[in-house]
Amino acid sequence: MIRTGIATREGSAADNADAAKVYVLADGTVGAAVVDGIGHGPHTSRTAPLLAETAARYTAHRGALPGILGAALLVADPGPDGDEANAVAVTALADDAGTRVAWVGDCRAYGWNGTTLTLHTTDQTMGQWVRIYGPPVEIAAHYDHWVRVSLHSATVATTREIEVSDPLVILTSDGVHDQITPDVLETLVREHADDPQALADALVSAARPDDDGYRDDATAIVIHH
């Protein structure tokens, strides 16, 4: 049996540019998607739920990678005004065989095996790319919000995909993992690992404003085998 929890909370901006969806097939297969819209505004906040719905349904039927690519098709064209919404995303297909995750951008997937919390994804940001070449941490951190791959540019070659064997998988937008310390994140997982909905709620509630008072939209999906 696969249980899930899903939660999202608007940040300090005018609207919620995050979205999340869990879709379950008749045989119990779960497709899940967390979408983090790039920027804010009515157009982005209207489009993000459509992207999450599409990604989750494609994922359940065809797999995590098709879930990303299916959602990407919805925003591949700039539109008549040249201002089509864009986003980053993470998807997960969960069934009896385990969980397969795909992502673009800086949405993340964590796994909990009962004792250890593991980050299974690598952010597709300029900051992460700069870290490969070893400059000071503060220089790399300056570029962490420069996303190198988004749904606009998602292809088979640019979308990352992995298998996760952990029985508990957590999908997050950066409003969760960037505004919660790793220690707090692991503590919340330990406390709520047996209750997916309680864990999802706790994760989005724990995110705190940064030094400038900005609090990003926060979204999480928890998948428990």
Q: What is the pLDDT along the chain (225 residues), one digit of tens a residue?
A: 899 999 999 988 778 999 999 999 999 999 999 999 998 767 888 999 999 999 999 999 999 999 999 999 999 988 888 788 999 999 999 999 999 999 999 999 999 999 999 999 989 877 676 777 776 667 666 676 768 889 999 999 999 999 999 999 999 999 999 899 999 999 999 999 999 999 999 999 998 877 777 788 999 999 999
How far CA 139 is from CA of 127, 148, 212, in Å, comes to: 8, 17, 19
In SS3 terms, the chain reads as CCEEEEEEECCCCCCCCEEEEEEECCCCCEEEEEEEECCCCHHHHHHHHHHHHHHHHHHHHHCHHHHHHHHHHHCCCCCCCCCCCCEEEEEEEEECCEEEEEEECCCEEEEECCCCEEECCCCCEHHHHHHCCCCCHHHHHCCCCCECCCHHHCCCCCCEEEEECCCEEEEECHHHHCCCCHHHHHHHHHHHCCCHHHHHHHHHHHCCCCCCCCCCCEEEEEEEC
Do 223 and 4 contact (CB within 8 A), yes or no?
yes
- pLDDT score, position 142: 66
- pLDDT score, position 196: 98
- pLDDT score, position 84: 87
How far CA 69 is from CA of 54, 73, 222, in Å, comes to: 10, 6, 22
Q: Which pTM value belongs to this model?
A: 0.92
| CATH 3.40.50.1970 applies to domain 3-122+156-224 | no
**Domain ranges across the chain:** 3-122+156-224
- pLDDT score, position 39: 82
- pLDDT score, position 208: 83
- pLDDT score, position 152: 93
